[in-house]
Amino acid sequence: MTKQEAFPKDAMRVLKETSRTFYIPITFLKKDMKHAVAAAYLLYRAIDEIEDHEAISNSVKHDILIKLSDLFKRSFTKKEYLQIIEPIKGELPEVSLRLYEWIEACPSGARPIMMGVGSEMAYGMGIWAQRNWQVHTKEDLDDYTYYVAGIVGIFLSKVWEWSYGQETDDELAVGFGRGLQAVNILSNQEEDLEERGVSFVPDGWTRDQLFDYAEGNLAKADAYIATLTDRSATMFCRLPLAFAHKSLDAMKKGREKMTRQEVEQTVKEEQEKFNRGS
C-alpha cells in the first residue's frame, strides 16, 4: 500500500464493535489482505444493516438496495450515496452511514473486487427483501445463502489471487460462506419465525435436513481451506469455521449455542496454532 492508502485506525474500531466473529480472524491476515478484507467486511455489513433493519419497509429496502447496486457499478460518490440513503438515514447505524469511508479505506488494487461483489450482494438482498425472504425450495435456499454469504467466499478468493496469486475453486469458496450462513439459520430459526415471520427452511424440510445442508457446505469449506497456501489466509478462514462446526455440534446436543467458555477456548486454540505456524 502507498502512504496515501494507510488504513484508518477508526475503521478497525468500528469493525471490532460490529463483528465479534470476524474481527480476530481479520487481524491474522497479512497487511494488504487485512486492509482489503476489513474494508469489505464493513461495506458488506453496511449493506446488510439496511437489508436486516426492522423499522424499514421491504419496498423501501428493495428500492435503496437496487440503487446502491447500480451505484457500486459506476463512479461512486459520497454525495450520491447520501442522497440514496436520505429517506432512512435516521434509522441507520454508524457502519452504514459511513459506507463511503470504507470504500476509501480499501486498497486501490482490491477496491474493484470489493465494489463488484458489493453490487451483486446489494442486488440479491434487494430482491430477497422484495420477496420477504420466503424460501420454499432448496434452490431458493441456495440463492438466498449465495447472496448474503456465499458471494463473500468469492470475494475472499479474488483477494487471495490479488494479494498472493492463488486461484481457488469457486464452488468451494461459495460453500465456505454458505456453511457459515446455514449455521446461523439453524441458530436463529425460531427467532426468525416468531419475530419476523420469516422462514429460511424449504417447504417440507425437517431440521435434520437443514443440518445436512449445513454439514454439506461446511465440508466444502473444509476442503476450501485445505487448498489455501498462504498461512494468514488459512488462519483467517479457520476461526469462523471452527465456530461454525462447534456451534453445529452444540445444537445437535440440544443447546442453542456455544458457551462463552467454548468461544474463548476456540479463539485461544486457533491463536496458538497461528503462533506455532501450524
What residue spans define the domains of the chain?
A: 8-111, 133-278
How much is the average pLDDT of 267-274? 75
Q: What pLDDT does residue 271 have?
A: 74
Binning pLDDT at 50, 70 and 90, where does residue 194 land?
Answer: confident
For 45, 97, 131, 199, 239, the CA distances from 19, given in Å and listed in that order, are 9, 17, 27, 24, 13
How much is the average pLDDT of 41-63? 96
Binning pLDDT at 50, 70 and 90, where does residue 4 land?
Answer: very low
Nearest Cα to Cα of residue 131 among 247, 123, 176: 123
Whether the per-residue pLDDT at 38 is higher than 80: the answer is yes
Q: What pLDDT does residue 130 have?
A: 96
Whether the per-residue pLDDT at 186 is higher than 80: the answer is yes
Which region among 1-10, 55-64, 111-120, 123-132 has the lowest average model confidence (pLDDT)?
1-10
Q: What are phi and psi of 255, to 5 degrees?
A: -95, 150
Whether the per-residue pLDDT at 6 is higher than 90: the answer is no
Superfamily of domain 133-278: Farnesyl Diphosphate Synthase (1.10.600.10)
Rounded to the nearest integer, the mean pLDDT of the chain is 93
Q: What pLDDT does residue 3 have?
A: 40
The pTM for the full model equals 0.92
Cell of 196: 419476523
How much is the average pLDDT of 217-245? 95
